[in-house]
């Protein structure tokens, strides 16, 4: 199975990706700001389910193809890195949009609606798709066999970290609604810092080699 060193390295890279306010985190924050902590946590649960669907898809299909082909791996890695940089630039340029989320308000969402919308965001999150398809296979020890099981385990580690971090983002946003409302610049800073961090992650992915 996966060695402790690989598991810790993957957990560290996963944490770096997860704490960056990408599409899923921004969605959770927006839901917390407009609906409160219950809707935020339900959204996190749905988001996690959606992300693990991607893990399963990679483990039983895309991941095996990437694992066998250096050409496919390199092409996907570079495309993924470029897209992460693009998302980072976009997040930085649109860093003031969280203020609109705060003002969204409206009627409270039901549990199933929050769960479903969180799932939809999680399963369609391009940042997560890129990470699972281009980065996760790098941490599989092919010499140990059980490639699919290793991917499922690594994906579970990712999602456990995501639940903790995304829930923290949601709770902080929900409990700091009034503090955020007094300064739009604080909302802008979240998106700006996240965009720069995402650009850095994209560069890191592009520079990461494959150990064959």
* Number of Cβ within a 10 Å radius of residue 111: 12
Beta-carbon contacts of residue 129 (< 8 Å; ≥ 6 apart)? 54
Percent of the chain with pLDDT over 90: 10
Q: Tell me, what's the pLDDT at 106?
A: 47
Higher pLDDT, 115 or 208: 115
Predicted confidence band of residue 161 (pLDDT cuts 50, 70, 90): very high
Residue 29 near residue 173 (C-beta atoms within 8 A): yes
Residue 170 near residue 31 (C-beta atoms within 8 A): yes
* Number of Cβ within a 10 Å radius of residue 203: 14
Q: Tell me, what's the pLDDT at 78?
A: 77
Q: Tell me, what's the pLDDT at 62?
A: 64
Predicted confidence band of residue 157 (pLDDT cuts 50, 70, 90): very high
Beta-carbon contacts of residue 32 (< 8 Å; ≥ 6 apart)? 39, 40, 169, 170, 171, 173, 174, 177
Q: Tell me, what's the pLDDT at 67?
A: 56
Higher pLDDT, 211 or 95: 95
Residue 10 has pLDDT above 80, yes or no: yes
| Digit-coded pLDDT (tens) for 42-66 | 989 998 998 898 888 888 876 556 5
Predicted confidence band of residue 112 (pLDDT cuts 50, 70, 90): confident
The DSSP element (H or E) to which 1 belongs, if any, is none
Residue 102 near residue 177 (C-beta atoms within 8 A): yes
Query: What distance lies between CA 33 and its chain's CA centroid?
Result: 19
DSSP notation for 136-161? GGGG--GGG--HHHHHHHHHHHHHHH
The DSSP element (H or E) to which 14 belongs, if any, is helix 4-19
Average pLDDT, the chain: 76
Predicted confidence band of residue 163 (pLDDT cuts 50, 70, 90): very high
Q: Tell me, what's the pLDDT at 158?
A: 93
Q: Tell me, what's the pLDDT at 44?
A: 92
Q: Tell me, what's the pLDDT at 164?
A: 93
Predicted confidence band of residue 101 (pLDDT cuts 50, 70, 90): low
3-class DSSP state for residue 94?
coil
Q: Tell me, what's the pLDDT at 45?
A: 93
């Amino acid at each position: 199975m996966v060695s402790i060193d690989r598991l810790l390295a993957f957990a560290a890279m996963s944490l770096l990706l997860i704490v960056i306010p990408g599409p899923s985190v921004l969605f959770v924050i927006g839901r917390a700001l407009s609906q409160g902590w219950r809707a935020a946590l339900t959204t996190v649960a749905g988001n996690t389910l959606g992300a693990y669907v991607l893990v399963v898809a990679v483990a039983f299909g895309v991941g095996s193809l990437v694992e066998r082909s250096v050409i496919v791996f390199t092409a996907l890695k570079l495309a993924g890195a470029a897209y992460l940089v693009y998302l980072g630039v976009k997040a930085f340029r649109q860093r003031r949009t969280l203020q609109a989320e705060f003002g969204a308000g409206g009627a409270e969402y039901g549990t199933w609606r929050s769960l479903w919308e969180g799932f939809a965001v999680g399963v369609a999150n391009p940042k997560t798709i890129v990470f699972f398809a281009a980065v996760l296979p790098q941490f599989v020890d092919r010499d140990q066999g059980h490639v699919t099981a290793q991917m499922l385990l690594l994906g579970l580690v990712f999602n456990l970290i995501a639940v903790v971090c995304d829930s923290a983002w949601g709770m902080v946003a929900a409990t700091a609604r009034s503090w955020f409302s007094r300064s739009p610049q604080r909302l802008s800073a979240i998106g700006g810092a996240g965009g720069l961090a995402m650009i850095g992650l994209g560069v890191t992915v592009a520079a990461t080699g494959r150990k064959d």
